Amino acid sequence: MQTTSQNAVENPTITVGAFVAGAPPSLPLSFLAGARGAESRVLRTPRIQKLGLALAGFPHYVHEGRVQIVGQSELQFLGQLSPAERREAVAKLELEKISCVLVTKGLTPPAELVEAAERASLPLIQTPLVSSVAIVAVTEYLEEALAPRELRHGVLLDLYGLGVLIEGKSGVGKSECALDLIMRGHQLVADDLVEVRRTRPGQLTGSPPDLLREHMEIRGLGIVNVRELFGASAISGPKQIDLDIMLQRWEEATEVERLGLDARTVQILGVAVPHFVLPVSPGRNLATLVETAVRVHLMRLRGYNAAQGLVARHREILGERKTPRGAADAGVAQAGDDGDGDGR
């Protein structure tokens, strides 16, 4: 089953200004020069690059859209050059194609690099972290910030440790089902709008928009604060999406699974997510059905499929019924052979 979303963003970018402003406390960043270009230069990938070869005169493989690292080795190399040679080394860099330069270990770059960055409005940034730590911190930060994402209408819950995304048309009962599940001890991640991000290949993470965090909309009641009503234990943070459940009105459910022999999936941001379709009609206990679907999924993860087990048992019984008749025929034939032998 294939789904699409008008809210999908497959190749997000982040400006250098937003990169610096949104950096976590574990990644301190500050501008040394070129802050004027912070909003016009963007980062497109979490991969970083070191400028060592480029400063040594081989700038051909400096990639756009990346954080360029200058550490102690690069600065020691520049320090051995004369001022004229440093200006020449910096001039060979295509500064207009570089998104930003990050100087690590709190080191002070040479004046020639600072002046060139200021003239070109190239953000020159400093961090007290050593290069190895800075590379890991920047990569993790940008993997999160640049993850492909989309907004999906639904409810994301933590059930039995799994992230379960409940989807369906407006008014089908998603929030009411989620409320019942919360009262059974499960946790809410997001209601109404779920921001889904592909944080790693094959992995989706869901979280609520900041404005809607910890809140639900229940028809007839309006907006409710789940934390205030049920306590902090009813709320979960961002959660990996392990299972997708689609609620469909009974008259619209045309692809309902009857046996469950084959596991279905739905594509979300290019990731195949295990998928159930549950028909909705008056009298059906949706919360119980959702809990059961999650338990079925957990059993499948452990290698057990009830439908396949039933089919295997059916074949086994059919085989047992055929075996006695065949064995009896063989016995009669054997007895006849033995009788002929005795007669002779």
Per the annotation, the verdict on 258 as an active-site residue is yes
Tens-place pLDDT, residues 233-276 = 999 999 999 999 999 887 776 666 666 667 789 999 999 999 99
Q: Which domain holds residue 67?
A: 9-146
Answer yes or no: are the C-beta atoms of 197 and 262 closer than 8 Å.
Answer: no
Clarify whether residues 28 and 127 are in a common domain. Answer: yes
Clarify whether residues 160 and 298 are in a common domain. Answer: yes
- 307 within domain boundaries: no
- Indicate which residue of 153, 213, 249, 264 is catalytic: 153
- 4 within domain boundaries: no
Clarify whether residues 180 and 231 are in a common domain. Answer: yes
Clarify whether residues 242 and 171 are in a common domain. Answer: yes
The predicted model scores a pTM of 0.73
- Indicate which residue of 47, 63, 169, 192 is catalytic: 192
Per the annotation, the verdict on 340 as an active-site residue is no
Taking the C-alpha atoms of residue 76 and residue 86, their distance in angstroms, rounded to an integer, is: 12
Closest by CA to 45, choosing from 27, 19, 77, 78, is 19
201 phi and psi angles, rounded to 5 deg = -55, 125
- Indicate which residue of 258, 302, 321, 325 is catalytic: 258
Residue 214's CATH number: 3.40.50.300
Clarify whether residues 140 and 157 are in a common domain. Answer: no
Helix axes 286-301, 174-183, angle to 10 degrees: 70
Instruction: Report DSSP letters for 271-306, one per residue.
Output: EEEEEEEEEE-TT--HHHHHHHHHHHHHHHHTT--H
Give the residue from 90, 119, 146 where a domain finishes.
146
Per the annotation, the verdict on 153 as an active-site residue is yes
Per the annotation, the verdict on 169 as an active-site residue is no
- Indicate which residue of 41, 152, 174, 186 is catalytic: 174
Taking the C-alpha atoms of residue 330 and residue 100, their distance in angstroms, rounded to an integer, is: 85
Clarify whether residues 297 and 265 are in a common domain. Answer: yes
- Say how many domains are in the chain: 2
- 296 within domain boundaries: yes
Per-residue pLDDT tens listing for the chain (344 residues): 344 444 566 688 999 999 999 999 999 999 999 999 999 999 999 999 999 888 888 878 889 999 999 999 999 999 999 999 999 999 989 899 999 999 999 999 999 999 999 999 999 999 999 999 999 999 999 998 999 999 999 999 999 999 999 999 988 889 999 999 999 999 999 999 999 999 888 899 999 999 999 999 988 889 999 999 999 999 999 999 999 999 988 777 666 666 666 778 999 999 999 999 998 887 788 999 999 999 999 988 888 777 777 777 777 787 777 655 555 555 545 555 555 545 44
- 283 within domain boundaries: yes
